[in-house]
Structure 1
Amino acid sequence: MAICVFDIFPDGTTKPVDDTALTGAGTYRWWHFDLNDPALSEWLPEHLPAIPAGALIQPETRPRCDAYENGLMLNLRGINLNAGQPADQMVSVRMWVDDDVVITVRMRKVFALEDIRQGIEAGAAPATPAAFVEALVSRLTARVQEEVMEIAKLAEFYEADLDDDTTPPPKDLPATRRRVIRLRRYLEPQRTALNKLAAVDLPLMPEPDGLRLRELANRTTLAVEELDALRDRLLTVQDDHDLFVARTQARHGYRLSVAAGVFLPLGFLTGLFGVNIGGMPGLDNPMAFAWLCLSMAALAVVMLLVLKLSRWL
């Protein structure tokens, strides 16, 4: 049924479990489930109160931290490292943490939990439920910071391109802006949840663990603030590119307006002298065409002088 179940002992050693009891002989028992497991919805109500059991099987979640009796209901988000899936579509982990049991439920693979699982199988397990939560939050936060730093490098690259007017707008700029928006959507409530977690007053979260969790909450706050700055920086880059395009279009339109201002009267003259009716002057004069061309050239010069005096040029 479960993805894995381990009894974890005070010295960090572990033992795989094959029974269905909620707790075991160790300091605590870790249950790790897949949300799509059909047996999960039957197992949870048999072993947990209704509210924590319901929170663990919710299909849609947001980061939260709520105390329930002597335990914690905790939902967190992590960077999506699954192959073929965008990193900013963050994966969720639902948790119930008590003095002697940790239950985690995931819908998609959470690599931070896989790291902990590999450590447990290697005999280096978190010694207490609080240490387990700290290890998970630490790994989730580290990957978030890596993702934010990667976006910051992209922002620096975009800003450097602004020094060259011939560089076109980067095609992936809109996608990067959406990436920041999606990350911040989850990290803002996660910051609130981690601050609540660091301040929770329960025996299962002793003060030393609370101090370390406060530091992790502070790192998440810094990541959210950096995302706010990146959002503004990327918007400024987009505005600068839009301004450059607008200036280019205005310059081209200005040149077309000047050309139209010069050639409009010339077009009027050619249209007037192009009518095929009797009485047109110069029909019998072989120099008439030359005089017309000279007159049009003089008119063009006059129009340029008028535009110059009008400060159009």
Structure 2
Amino acid sequence: MARFLKKFDKKSGMPPGSLIFIGRQKTETPRLRIIDYDMGMIRDEFIQTIDDATCAKTTATTSWINIDGLHEIEIIKRVGDNFNIPSMVLEDILNTGQRPKIEEYPNHIFISMKMLLLDEDETTVRAEQLSAVLAKNYLITFQEQPGDVFEPVRERIKRQGGRLRKLGPDYLLYTLIDCILENYLKVIEKMGERIEEMEDEVFGNPEPDLLEEINLYRREMAYVRKAVRPTKEIISKINKLESDIISTEILPFLKDLSDITELSVDSAEIYKEMLASHITTYNMVMGNRLNEIMQFLTIFATIFIPLTFLAGIYGMNFDVIPELHYKYGYYVLLSLMVAVAITMLLYFKKRRWI
């Protein structure tokens, strides 16, 4: 399956709002988890059905409902029915190739973003879609598979007395977005370390394997930019929202996300340009190396042109040649050829051709 664009064959001819899973199944069985908390209590448990979390709509506590696995349409449809989520939003949730976006509705806010993770080789980037539906007293998140960058947030929720336990789901959403953006920087920084190391190798002793690695990083950095760049638009829009769902207490924190976003986008652009510069430098160094080889071969051939001329005359099969029966003719010719070669080398040296 293509990484930059998912196949939309399943949606061809279907009406808007049709619930069709687009992407690759990444987990065997969907997993539902609810973390319900306030200043005095916390409940963290896995639940069997979304019906077990419906009470989150009416309780005064903050509820974080997380669903790992999107391939079972009935579960997603049930979530939509229980929490009055429009079918157009559910359609975007099921489309794992959805471009990051933010949409405001009367009773909730929908956000879709990409989480980035590096494989064990630290060169290949994996992206997972995170969709979030924010309401007045609950937050529902949808992930493609178990495992994310939010474990520090869960640990903070478990600690009493923190701001996270005091504030509502809007602050929880801010915290999750902050984790995603900080992880962008970690991924870019890790790739950037190797990209900067390549500069010395390009100038030092470039090999074909290095060019292959540069092209690999170019592809991966393009994949990172595809995920990171739209977040700039999302953060800009979320700061302009005039919704009762987001309290005024959260606005200063949301504005702080702009700095991280700008840094992520700028870093990705800088490393993209560095990789393009590496390829240009690699081609230049290899071109210079080829020129040196051609220069040597040209000089070598040029020296042998007059020597071949002399040897050709000496080897002509004529009966009457003045030097044919000369006792030292062979040695004279060899001496002349050596003298010509040395003279040409000295001339090339004087002209700084070698």
Give me the TM-score of the superposition, normalised by structure 1.
Answer: 0.84
**Cα distance in 1 for residues equivalent to 2:238 and 2:141:** 16
Superposition RMSD on alpha carbons, in Å? 3.1
Query: Are the structure 2 counterparts of residues 82 and 117 from structure 1 closer, same or farther at C-alpha, using a change threshold of 3 Å?
Result: farther
1:301: Cα distance to partner? 4.4
Q: Does 1:286 align with 2:327?
A: yes
- Matched with 1:27 is 61
**Cα distance in 2 for residues equivalent to 1:280 and 1:39:** 104
1:281: Cα distance to partner? 4.6
1:109: Cα distance to partner? 3.5
1:300: Cα distance to partner? 2.8
- Specify which of 230, 243, 248 is matched with residue 289 of structure 2: 248
1:205: Cα distance to partner? 1.0
- The alignment covers a number of residue pairs equal to 311
Cα distance per residue 1:169-226 (max 9 Å; x no partner): 6834333333322211210011211221222111111122122112112211111112
Give the gaps of 5 or more residues in structure 2: 1-28
Compare 152-161 and 127-136 and name the one that shifted more: 152-161
- Matched with 2:187 is 147
- Matched with 1:95 is 132
Query: Are the structure 2 counterparts of residues 266 and 95 from structure 1 closer, same or farther at C-alpha, using a change threshold of 3 Å?
Result: same
1:309: Cα distance to partner? 7.2
- Matched with 1:135 is 175
Following superposition of structure 1 onto structure 2, how do residues 1-313 of structure 1 map, counting pairs within 5 Å? 3-6=31-34, 8-11=36-39, 13-15=41-43, 16=45, 20=51, 22-24=54-56, 25-33=59-67, 34-47=69-82, 48-80=85-117, 88-117=125-154, 119-120=156-157, 126=165, 127-160=167-200, 166-168=204-206, 171=210, 172-276=213-317, 278-304=319-345, 307=348, 312-313=353-354
Query: Are the structure 2 counterparts of residues 289 and 64 from structure 1 closer, same or farther at C-alpha, using a change threshold of 3 Å?
Result: same
**Cα distance in 1 for residues equivalent to 2:221 and 2:229:** 12
Cα distance per residue 1:248-303 (max 9 Å; x no partner): 22122112211211111211322343344544553322222122213323433454
Query: Are the structure 2 counterparts of residues 157 and 14 from structure 1 closer, same or farther at C-alpha, using a change threshold of 3 Å?
Result: same
Query: Are the structure 2 counterparts of residues 122 and 3 from structure 1 closer, same or farther at C-alpha, using a change threshold of 3 Å?
Result: farther
Query: Are the structure 2 counterparts of residues 12 and 137 from structure 1 closer, same or farther at C-alpha, using a change threshold of 3 Å?
Result: farther
**Cα distance in 1 for residues equivalent to 2:205 and 2:239:** 47
**Cα distance in 1 for residues equivalent to 2:122 and 2:282:** 30
Question: Is 1:9–1:26's contact at 8 Å kept on the other side of the alignment?
Answer: no
Give the gaps of 5 or more residues in structure 1: none
Identity of aligned residues (%): 17
